[in-house]
């Protein structure tokens, strides 16, 4: 698309993996009036600062991709940080958006909102039907609150605030910290370091048996823009006022063992894969039902094997530019 589109769009969390992908996709589709602020310029947990920003900028659309994220270790170690920071960011941005008369907002949640033993694949109506996975419950509670904030502002004020729930994401811009990263970047780093040291084995947390679904981040960004721009009359036929979130997934899942083998191929290093069963597995399976979004006309484009190759190229580029160190991404 060469036509330049003019609505002012604020992308919260533009330096993160999802936010940066949303900006890439917006620009590729012709959107040019995009507003961003880094953490030093705007602390989204500071209500006064957020209100001032919205009063000045007056965006027409908001993509709320800002979040404190991390893997099992980080969620277990810093639960207060995860629930407090995420709830404050969501509440401040959504309330300030309403006060400054932003009519359209898209909130990005997470598939961890669904119960630990939810029927697979997990459909939108599984929300709040059972107990959450304990290892990331605070983060999940914050994301559920974000959905309910959007729905409540829609019901009370007549705005159009939408929510999407992605499956596990990976790709350019991911966090490769040795302890605080998600499973794919953690495995990429492990296999790369084994390749560099010519180690004969790689140790992976957990049993290797849990199944996970993975979606390439640029596909997720494309889905966000698709949902944001769906005519309300069409969207309303597929959602209800108190169950308005939409799942965004790839459509199939893999075991962590099979994922480890796929990452070894992408990295180009084959060795023994051993699993540390003393470490927590998390939910036994996470695979979301994306039928609703597929029926609306969206499907992913990137398969896992090709996506892992691109993710590894991103990791290598960060090494070259000095953004990977012993403590992770700088």
Helix (H, G, I), strand (E, B) or coil at 272: strand
Encoded tokens for 172: 């350019």
Helices then strands, each counted (H, E), the chain: 11, 15
E strand intervals along the chain: 9-12, 34-35, 61-64, 104-108, 160-166, 168-170, 201-205, 211-212, 214-216, 246-248, 254-255, 272-276, 285-286, 324-325, 328-329
Asked about 139 being catalytic, the answer comes back as: yes
- Rg, the chain, Cα only: 19
Which sign does the torsion angle of CA 49, 50, 52, 56 carry? positive
Q: Beta partners for 325?
A: 328
Residue matched to tokens 């969206």: 298
Say if residue 121 is preceded by a cis peptide, omega within 30 of 0: yes
The first and second tokens of residue 112, run together, are 């961890």
Q: Are 228 and 104 in contact (CB under 8 A)?
A: yes
> Which residue in the list 10, 139, 176, 312 is annotated as catalytic?
139
CB 159 within 8 Å of CB 102: yes
Interatomic CA distance for residues 268 and 194, integer angstroms: 11
197 burial type by CB count under 10 A (0-12 exposed, 13-18 middle, 19+ buried): exposed
Residues serving a catalytic function are 139
């Amino acid at each position: 698309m060469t036509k330049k589109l003019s609505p002012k769009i604020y992308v919260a969390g533009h330096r993160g993996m999802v936010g940066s992908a949303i900006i890439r996709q917006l620009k590729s589709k012709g959107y040019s009036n995009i507003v961003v602020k880094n953490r030093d310029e705007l602390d989204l947990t500071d209500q006064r600062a957020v209100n001032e920003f919205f009063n000045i900028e007056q965006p027409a659309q908001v993509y709320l991709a800002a979040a404190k994220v991390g893997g099992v270790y980080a969620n277990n170690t810093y639960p207060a940080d995860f629930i407090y920071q995420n709830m404050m960011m969501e509440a401040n941005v959504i309330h300030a958006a309403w006060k400054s008369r932003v009519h359209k907002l898209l909130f990005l949640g997470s598939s961890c909102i669904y119960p630990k033993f939810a029927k697979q694949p997990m459909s939108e109506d599984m929300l709040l039907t059972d107990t959450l996975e304990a290892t990331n419950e605070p983060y999940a509670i914050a994301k559920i609150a974000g959905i309910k904030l959007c729905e409540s502002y829609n019901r009370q004020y007549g705005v159009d605030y939408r929510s999407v729930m992605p499956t596990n994401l990976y790709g350019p811009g991911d966090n490769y910290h040795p302890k605080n990263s998600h499973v794919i970047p953690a495995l990429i780093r492990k296999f790369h370091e084994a390749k560099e040291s010519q180690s004969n084995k790689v140790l992976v947390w957990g049993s290797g048996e849990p199944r996970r679904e993975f979606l390439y981040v640029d596909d997720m960004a494309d889905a966000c823009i698709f949902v944001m721009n769906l005519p309300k009359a069409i969207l309303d036929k597929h959602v209800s006022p108190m169950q308005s979130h939409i799942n965004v997934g790839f459509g199939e899942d893999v075991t962590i063992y099979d994922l480890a083998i796929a990452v070894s191929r992408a990295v180009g290093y084959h060795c023994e894969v051993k699993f540390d069963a003393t470490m927590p597995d998390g939910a036994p399976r996470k695979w979301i039902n994306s039928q609703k979004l597929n029926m609306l006309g969206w499907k992913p484009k990137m398969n896992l094997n090709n996506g892992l190759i691109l993710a590894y190229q991103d990791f290598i580029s960060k090494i070259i530019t000095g953004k990977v160190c012993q403590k992770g991404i700088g």
